């Protein structure tokens, strides 16, 4: 061994030994492991520092959600207290619930395009959240389409109509303020146009190339930090130009056409068209990131498994050698100007929604919709069963509530 390499070796060894001694010094048979030494994020357990951005992947997979990966959804939490959801793809709602965040704090949603894997859980998040104590209107930003019937406003008008029965069952029965929708449709072809500017947070949209006219990507800037979210797009000039300077740049990174053929049974033509002309292959993703040069590049939108991740990474590495994460659901990034820390979350599967943050208003019973005489004729009232249930509550809370069906 040459003298220089021996010295380097011993210097490295000494540094490792010193680190181990330091870590051992923080261990105790009665104290917990310090948070700074844990590689796991427990949602709801950590303060967000005033200058910190926390990003949580809540859907990183494909249109057919699976236990390991829901479809597209990303949560951005800021140290000023603001929280933003980008896309609400199929299956993501339960991952949102796992964050233990009251629904009133999750009132700002940005939809990049109207594919079901980017908005499929919007109805459950909207109405499920309303039933589970949201008392603040849900605000939704989304692009126009090439014509009005392909725009966000039209889609959400129809969503409201589609759920007329659900809404009817709540009318006059609960405080429905959280069911109000505030829809902000913006032009899909705006280039780096501001679509949101509140509380020191600016969000811009840029056009994307995906599916039809009416797909966009988003850029969020706050406190000197820049988050870019591609939704779906093939490589395009707007992303490359305007994502520059990003602390975190998220862009789709689809399965390579070879795996679309072998794992998903696509025909070669279909695999090439879907995998490179409708979506972005790993090699294209890498090239985009080489041009953008973010502090951290994040690829998503593929079934990320032990046998696909190495192949996707190998191909992305053909065209990009910078910092890279290939996202999984529940991956978390804590971003400050000096550091980006990445962890996986440990989830409490028995999480309950938060109690309401505001006082609930009494429902407006004039809006309630009555059953027909026919349906009422089928009720078995069970007074001997109901009386003790109502007595228990009335005695405990000093109320005088009676059953509707007697």
* Closest to Zn ion by CB, 58 or 127: 58
Residue carrying structure tokens 């007329």? 164
The DSSP symbol for 5 reads: H
C-beta of 26: minimal distance to Zn ion in Å? 43
Taking every pair of Cα atoms in the chain, the longest distance, rounded to a whole number of angstroms, is 96
C-beta of 60: minimal distance to Zn ion in Å? 11
* Closest to Zn ion by CB, 254 or 333: 254
Binding site for Zn ion (CB under 5 A): 115, 117, 232
* Separation CA 381–CA 387 (nearest Å): 10
C-beta of 50: minimal distance to Zn ion in Å? 34
Contact partners, residue 235, CB within 8 Å, separation at least 6? 280, 284, 287, 288
* Closest to Zn ion by CB, 115 or 226: 115
C-beta of 40: minimal distance to Zn ion in Å? 28
* Closest to Zn ion by CB, 176 or 218: 218
C-beta of 69: minimal distance to Zn ion in Å? 12
C-beta of 252: minimal distance to Zn ion in Å? 7
Contact partners, residue 342, CB within 8 Å, separation at least 6? 325, 331, 332, 333
Residue carrying structure tokens 């181990």? 20
* Closest to Zn ion by CB, 327 or 347: 327
Q: Closest by alpha carbon to 260, among 268, 252, 250? A: 268
* Closest to Zn ion by CB, 54 or 115: 115
Q: Closest by alpha carbon to 135, among 353, 393, 401, 348? A: 353
Sign, Cα dihedral of 232, 234, 236, 240: positive
* Separation CA 139–CA 137 (nearest Å): 6
* Closest to Zn ion by CB, 113 or 204: 113
The strands making up 181-186's β-sheet, listed across from edge to edge, are: 40-41, 340-345, 331-335, 53-59, 73-78, 83-86, 108-110, 138-143, 181-186
C-beta of 18: minimal distance to Zn ion in Å? 47
């Amino acid at each position: 061994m040459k003298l220089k390499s021996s010295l380097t070796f011993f210097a490295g060894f000494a540094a490792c030994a010193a680190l181990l001694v330091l870590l051992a010094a923080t261990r105790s048979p009665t104290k917990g492991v310090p948070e700074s030494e844990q590689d796991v994020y427990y949602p709801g357990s950590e303060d967000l520092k005033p200058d910190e951005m926390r990003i949580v992947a809540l859907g990183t997979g494909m249109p057919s959600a699976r236990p390991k990966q829901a479809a597209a959804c990303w949560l951005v939490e800021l140290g000023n207290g603001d929280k933003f959801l980008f896309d609400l793809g199929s299956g993501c709602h339960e991952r949102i619930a796992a964050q233990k965040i009251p629904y009133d704090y999750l009132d700002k949603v940005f939809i990049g395009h109207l594919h079901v894997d980017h908005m499929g859980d919007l109805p459950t998040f909207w109405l499920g959240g309303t039933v589970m104590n949201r008392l603040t209107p849900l605000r939704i930003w989304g692009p126009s389409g090439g014509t009005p019937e392909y725009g966000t406003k039209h889609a959400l008008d129809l969503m409201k109509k589609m759920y007329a029965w659900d809404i009817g069952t709540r009318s006059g029965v609960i405080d429905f303020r959280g069911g109000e929708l505030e829809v902000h449709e913006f032009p899909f072809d705006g280039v780096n146009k501001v679509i949101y500017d509140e509380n020191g947070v600016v969000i811009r949209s840029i056009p994307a190339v995906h599916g039809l006219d009416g797909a966009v990507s988003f850029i969020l800037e706050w406190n000197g930090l820049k988050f870019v979210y591609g939704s779906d797009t093939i490589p395009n000039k707007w992303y490359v130009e305007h994502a520059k300077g990003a602390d975190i740049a998220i862009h789709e990174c689809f399965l390579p056409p070879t795996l679309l053929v072998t794992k998903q049974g696509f025909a070669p033509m279909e695999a090439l068209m879907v995998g490179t002309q409708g979506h972005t292959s790993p090699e294209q993703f890498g090239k985009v990131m080489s041009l953008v040069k973010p502090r951290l590049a994040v690829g998503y939108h593929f079934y990320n498994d032990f046998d696909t991740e190495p192949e996707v990474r190998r191909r992305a590495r053909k065209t990009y050698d910078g910092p890279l994460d290939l996202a999984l659901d529940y991956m978390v990034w804590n971003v400050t100007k000096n550091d980006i820390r990445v962890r996986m979350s440990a989830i409490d599967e028995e999480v309950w929604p938060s109690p309401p943050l505001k006082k609930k208003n009494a429902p407006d019973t004039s809006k309630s919709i009555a059953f027909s005489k026919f349906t009422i004729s089928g009720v078995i009232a069970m007074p001997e069963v109901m009386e003790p249930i109502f007595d228990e509550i009335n005695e405990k809370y000093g109320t005088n509530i009676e059953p509707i069906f007697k």
